[in-house]
Structure 1
Amino acid sequence: MADSGETVTHIEPSAFVTYLEKTRWFGGKGRPFEVTDVRRLGRLGDGAPRVDVLLVQLTYGDVAPGAPDAVELYQVPLACYTEAEHRLDHAFIGWWEDPEEGWLHAYDALHDKEAMALWLAAFVSAEVPTDGADAAEEGAFDEGGIDFRRLPGHELEPDATASLFSGEQSNSSVRFGEDSVLKVFRKITPGANPDITTHAALTRAGSEDVAHLYGWVQAEAPDGLVGPSPDGTDVLHLGMLQKFLRTATDGWELALSSVRTLYAEEGVDAEVSGGDFEGEAARLGLTLRAVHDLLVEHFGTGTTDASAVADQMTTRLDAAVAAAPALGEHRTALTSVLDRLRGLGELPVQRVHGDLHLGQTLRTSLGWKIVDFEGEPAKPLAERLLPDSPWRDVAGMLRSFDYAPHVVARQADDLGDEENDADRRVRGAAWAARNQLAFLAAYAGGELSDTEKTLVDAYLADKAVYETVYETRNRPAWVEIPLSAVARIGVA
């Protein structure tokens, strides 16, 4: 049996380079890198297939050694066979001579239903003891150095067939029949992943506003490969098993569909459109409030100095003006908003979502669900674990409502027709405002206080300023979307 964390030396690093560069989830595309270490975290099974869970260290050549983004870790589970499996040619990583097994053909295990059956079997073995002296809050099962954990309350289907979701950008998800879905984290950061810890808290609290967590996968961080984790633990969270939401529809797609219906109804205002979204926006506001309240109950609250928050936003604004000069004419108005924030004294902070928008929501037959509590992927884990203002989540959702009409308008067959473009701008703005107000009123439980209005304005400003820089660099034709929002912030 392989030791957990042992260095793998028999695999040519170029095999990983070639495979990583062709995947959708690899975040280092376009950057020069080399594979500088490979560790085996553990092994599942002892036949065909055998699954080796590898942690691959990449070192980038476009930044100085020691820079925050100079080194990254990626999880690559291998399904290993003694003979070629042509059904998995699309997921082929390489073939090599293994010191224990001889020549092996290796594939990305997430694409192999036989390999993923081993993961499911390990979860089943981690059944939670609920009776007598052995009763526990969670079950555990160690399989070859990989630690599978289970929460009580759900019996897994051991014979469910695995199928990989397509199209995901940063992680990989495998569905087990109609019962559960396993999200496997590709980019690994030492320490407890907030997607797991937040879902665990909300599941234990009985929240109906998230897909319940059934369990998770973890391993011990190998010595010498990773530095200290921000939370002081030596854990690597590798994946999480959740309830599969059979009736779920992506919230962003629902919003776009509502706008398409509005635009298709010539001369119809947003409030009488057959695709009116106001009720859904209000229900989504109630859902976010319920989630925030439960997070307070479990993780507690703290305070932060409003002037320090305003200073951070001002620093980002100054850098943004340099990167996107079009922001310059709005600097005075934005500074006024941040000055109002600065005068609020101490602000309550708590565990939040951290990267909330309509694409992080699902509408099911039973209501809205909020998903993906990892926080902003670009931020280091230490920052994502910090308590923050719940109004940051609110602002993210408000900006998402603003983007939806613009995205649909840019897909119009008659784009460029001045009269129709102008009509879409007016009615799209009305759609966004209507849903923003409904969402806000539901979240706040009525009309906002002066303090809440200041917080909304400040976090909207911070988000729209970030968007302006992003669009300037990546989609210049879209920069008018956040710029028009910047111009409205703090007005009336």
Structure 2
Amino acid sequence: MAETVTLFGTTSGSTSPGPLLASLDPLLREWLPRQRWFAGKGRPVTGFTPVAATELLPPDGRLGLYHLLLRVHQPSTPDAPTHPGDCYQLLIGVREALPPRLAPALIGHVDEGPLAGRTVYEALYDPRPAEVLLEALRTRARVGGLRFEGDAGQAIRAGLVARLLTAEQSNSSVVYGDTFILKLLRRVVPGVNPDLEIPLALAREGCPRVPPPTAWIRQELDPEPYVLGVLQPFVRGAGDGWELALRELAKGEDFAAEARALGRATAEVHTALARALPTVTLGQAALRLLVDGMTERLAAAVQAVPLLRPYEEGLRSAYEALAELAAEGSTWTAQRIHGDLHLGQCLRSPTGSWSLIDFEGEPARPLAERRMPQAPVRDVAGMLRSFDYAAHSVSPPAPDWAHACRSAYCAGYAEAAGRDPRTDPVMLRACETDKAVYEVVYEARHRPEWLHVPLSAVRRLATSDPTLARETRP
């Protein structure tokens, strides 16, 4: 049982960040680039600008806790010559010394400033600070500019023990007593975050495929607040779709039935989103912009990864086929979607029901772009690529397994949506090509040992006949 702590001392609230940040600066420059969720790997950290600093527990006892929003400055790149720097959310714990169980959380020992002589660490590894956050959410606290808000119809029980999930992810998640899970966003931007917006909209629609938000954290700042975290019910005993797929592959078992059920779940979410949030019609002008964006990303990818050059013309044909249909007067309905759908964003409960999670979209894309209505087939393309990744994670690869899953997923989608994604082959091929091109760049930069996976898809997509792709397939 974790020790109880008094939530927020009398001096709690917004604090002067200057001296605090000066003392942490050299430690954070070393520690931040090592974190899985830090996006600026490969470039040194040159400085910080404080966005907000809040004292949640004053460091005058055995434990202190600071909440920081820091803009991190790094050298410019050709892609972003005037980038202002990403803003990150940090929870810094303060102790005189770390117990051995917290050794993985160490940031460093402070030599000067208000925390001189203390040890600072990643506070989420420590149940006590993590439980401070839950207590703030339970009581709907306001501390400095931090706002802990929630659904008045959902109660949060006090005293739930916290544990940090240590699986690799682009954010951080804490589970409380197998009852709730708090997702804390690491790279944050001002404005309406889809990771809260979309689950709230689906909850209003009564869609059971997405856990409804129980509470959330915001930082009040001008001109727009930041969404920092979302608390949702924890699906006890649920299995991650990626891990489940790999397990079945390792056993040589078929996954088609699960893929079909997952297709139905995806379609149900899309249908609910189309009811809950506005839809738009993509005409020739909008589709021209879409195609231009895909073409520009392909050109940039070819420059970054020369291995793509032999396939550039064939890949571009996927986009040109879409532009031709648009010029002929074809239109598509666009709506809010998941935006970054893959097996790892899906949970299967012990009863066999599938849920979709993590509606943040691709974090590297601007928030306004992530909130734009898009063709639902974009999510379908992401899941098809995920089946391909799973099939290539075993040796030898299992392309027949991936093909069976892809077909079953689309069939399940059709059962719930009334339309099969494969009857829209031009848009599907364009979206899958765009995704595969993105994957090539990502793997070349971060996981070169996986580069062969998207390259195999690139070869297939580049040699597809765009005239055949127009044919309606069952």
Which category describes the TM-score, using the shorter chain as reference length? 0.7 to 0.9
> Aligned-pair distance for 1:165?
1.0
Contact kept in structure 1, 2:287 and 2:323, CA below 8 Å? no
Letter in 1 for 2:125: H
1:95 corresponds, among 110, 115, 121, to: 110
Cross-structure match for 1:185: 185
**Equivalent residue runs for 1:306-385 within 5 Å:** 306-321=287-302, 323=306, 324-328=308-312, 330-331=314-315, 333-334=317-318, 337-342=321-326, 343-366=328-351, 367-385=353-371
2:235 is equivalent to residue 280 of structure 1: no
Match of residue 403 from structure 1 = 389
Residue 209 (structure 2) aligns with: 209
Counterpart position of 1:107:
121
The residue identity in structure 2 corresponding to 1:158 is A
CA RMSD across the alignment = 2.8
Which residue of 32, 53, 56 maps to 1:41?
53
Query: Residues 485 and 255 (structure 1 numbering): CA distance in 2 closer, same or farther, change over 3 Å?
Result: farther
Q: SS of the counterpart of 1:149? A: strand
Query: Could you tell me the TM-score, scaled by structure 2's length?
Result: 0.83
For residue 352 of structure 1, what is the amino acid of its counterpart? I
Distance of aligned partners of 1:331 and 1:27 in 2 relative to their CA distance in 1, 3 Å threshold: closer
The 5 A counterparts of 1:134-173 are 141-173=141-173
Corresponding residue of 2:89: 75
1:374-430 Cα offsets, whole Å, 9 max, x none, are 111211212112221111001111121222222212xx5xxxxxxxxxxx6xxx332
User: How many percent identity over aligned positions?
Assistant: 36
* 1:1-40 pair list within 5 angstroms: 1=11, 4=14, 6-10=16-20, 11-40=23-52
2:248 to 258, 262, 268: 258
Q: Deviations over 1:135-178 (max 9, x none)?
A: xxxxxx31343210111443222111111111333211111111
Pick the aligned partner of 1:295 from 251, 270, 273: 273
Higher mean C-alpha deviation, range 441-450 or range 55-64: 441-450
Distance 2:46 2:287 in 1: 43
Unaligned 5+ runs, structure 2? 1-10, 470-474
Residues 54, 76 of structure 1: 8 Å contact kept: yes
1:340: how far off?
4.3
The C-alpha deviation readout for 1:247-304, integer Å capped at 9, x for no partner, is: 1111112222232333xxxxxxxxxxxx222211111111111111111222111123
Query: How much has 1:339 moved relative to structure 2?
Result: 3.8
CA-CA distance at 1:66 after TM superposition: 7.6
2:438 aligned residue: 466
CA distance in 2, matches of 1:173, 1:121: 16
Change (3 A) 1:117 1:354: same
Distance of aligned partners of 1:489 and 1:260 in 2 relative to their CA distance in 1, 3 Å threshold: farther
- Aligned position for 1:133: none
Alignment check: 8 A CA contact 1:43 1:145 kept: no
Query: For the residues of structure 1 that align with 2:279 and 2:316, how far apart are their CA atoms?
Result: 33
- Matched residue, 2:472: none
Deviation per CA, 1:14-65, whole angstroms, max 9, x where unpaired? Answer: 0211221333222222212222323543232455433211112211124389
1:195 aligns with: 195
Change (3 A) 1:469 1:205: same
Conserved in 2, the CA contact under 8 Å of 1:97 and 1:104?
A: no
Aligned to 2:414: 444
- Structure 2 contact 291–319 (Cα < 8 Å) conserved: no
- State the number of aligned residues: 438
Contact 1:75 1:185 in 2 (8 A): yes
Decide whether the 8 Å contact of 2:274 with 2:336 is kept in 1. Answer: yes
Specify whether residues 440 and 157 from structure 1 end up closer, same or farther in structure 2 by C-alpha distance, changes over 3 A only.
same
SS at match of 1:61: coil
Which 10-residue stretch deviates more, 376-385 or 101-110?
A: 101-110
3-state SS of paired residue (1:213): coil
Residue 242 (1) aligns with residue 223 (2): no
- Taking the aligned partners of 2:301 and 2:106, their CA distance within structure 1 comes to 43
* Distance (whole Å) between structure 2 residues aligned to residue 208 and residue 290 of structure 1: 9
Asked whether the 8 Å contact 1:341–1:458 carries over to 2, the reply is: no
TM-score normalised to the size of structure 1? 0.81
Query: What is the one-letter code of the residue matched to 1:36?
Result: F
Q: Distance in 2 between matches of 1:5 and 1:348?
A: 48
Letter in 2 for 1:84: A
AA of the residue aligned to 2:280: G
- Kindly indicate whether the alpha-carbon contact (under 8 Å) linking 1:95 and 1:103 is maintained by their aligned counterparts in 2: yes
C-alpha distance 331-42 of structure 1, shift in aligned 2 (>3 A): closer
Structure 1 unaligned blocks of 5 or more: 127-140, 224-232, 263-274, 413-423
Q: What whole-Å deviation, never above 9, does each CA across 1:441-475 have from its counterpart, x for those lacking one? A: 22133664886233222222322333345556634
3-state DSSP of counterpart to 2:251: helix
